[in-house]
Amino acid sequence: MFDLNEKTGFVNTILESLLPVSKRQGSIEDAMRYSVLNGGKRLRPIMLIEAFRLFCADTETEKMIALPFAAAIEFIHSYSLVHDDLPAMDDDTYRRGQLTTHKKFGHAMGVLTGDALLNYAFETMSGAAVKVSGIRNVEIKAVLLDRCVRAISEISSQTGYLGMIYGQVRDCSEETDAAPDEVIKTDELKTSCLFEAALVAGAILGGADPEQIDRIKKAGYHIGIAFQLRDDILDETATFEELGKDIGSDEKNGKKTFLALMGREKTVSRLHTEMDKARETINDLPGEHGFFEDLCTMISSN
């Protein structure tokens, strides 16, 4: 099993170095750092880096483009959590054992912090592309710039109004008699899209071909569905001390999850099926698959 703490620590170092410095307590920079650096497993940026490494072993290229894009994925994830916690959404008080951003800094700052992190994610990715434009070797510069543009496009579409945001729209407006397939579609949009964005962007940056990109995108879909099913189970069965956030939020907000509709046994079964499909799609990819095998095992066992 991979050392999650080691990989999380590596990503945290990157985030620390790229986030703006706090100018004063309560400033927008302070709120941005608070929202990003308040814990978390960093699975999405880790997945982007590991997907990149499947196709490229050059550490300088990783440092120049993969690491900033990994940080940007976490900035986007953090913004989505900040907004998800707002009173108009889930109205949660705690996230990762600490006060949610709007509870600590106020409602307006909660909205603005999410906005700032989303914009900063694209500033970070475009900044990496600007550095690539300074490469003297024309051929290498052209290849890497093309990869950066395609990765930004992938992340934009997966997290935009037809992707992750649409998933949140559906999550807020689901009918009480929602069918299981409709709930899974919502899970795909609100959760899988960001997993897919991380894996596909990493693969693009690493030089994967179209068939490989399609395969890793499917893996992201299955991993995301399984992760959301696992999260739904934990929301019902875990304690505040274990998760560091409000428990029973789905029931409180009247959300229809796959778990609520189908029960624990069928939810666990669907989770394992999704993980099996994820493993199948990754098996034919190049490179070392150990991380992804361990990731599937970790999600399945919790």
Q: What is the pTM of this model?
A: 0.94
Measure the CA–CA gap between 221 and 273, rounded to whole angstroms. Answer: 12
Measure the CA–CA gap between 124 and 18, rounded to whole angstroms. Answer: 8
**pLDDT score recorded for residue 63:** 98
The residues with which 99 forms a beta bridge, in sequence order, are 94
Amino acid at 73: I
**pLDDT score recorded for residue 187:** 94
The residues with which 94 forms a beta bridge, in sequence order, are 99
**pLDDT score recorded for residue 173:** 79
* Tokens 């890793």 found at: 216
Spatial CA neighbour of 188 closest among 150, 227, 151, 230 = 227
**pLDDT score recorded for residue 184:** 93
Distance between alpha carbon 282 and the CA centroid of its chain, in Å? 19
**pLDDT score recorded for residue 129:** 98
**pLDDT score recorded for residue 67:** 98
Which stretches in the chain have pLDDT values below 50? none
What are the structural domains, with CATH classification, of the chain? 4-300 (1.10.600.10)
The residues with which 98 forms a beta bridge, in sequence order, are 95
- Neighbour tally for 236: CB within 10 Å: 16
Contact (Cβ atoms closer than 8 angstroms) between residue 154 and residue 200: yes
**pLDDT score recorded for residue 217:** 97
Measure the CA–CA gap between 229 and 299, rounded to whole angstroms. Answer: 10
- Neighbour tally for 249: CB within 10 Å: 16
**pLDDT score recorded for residue 239:** 66
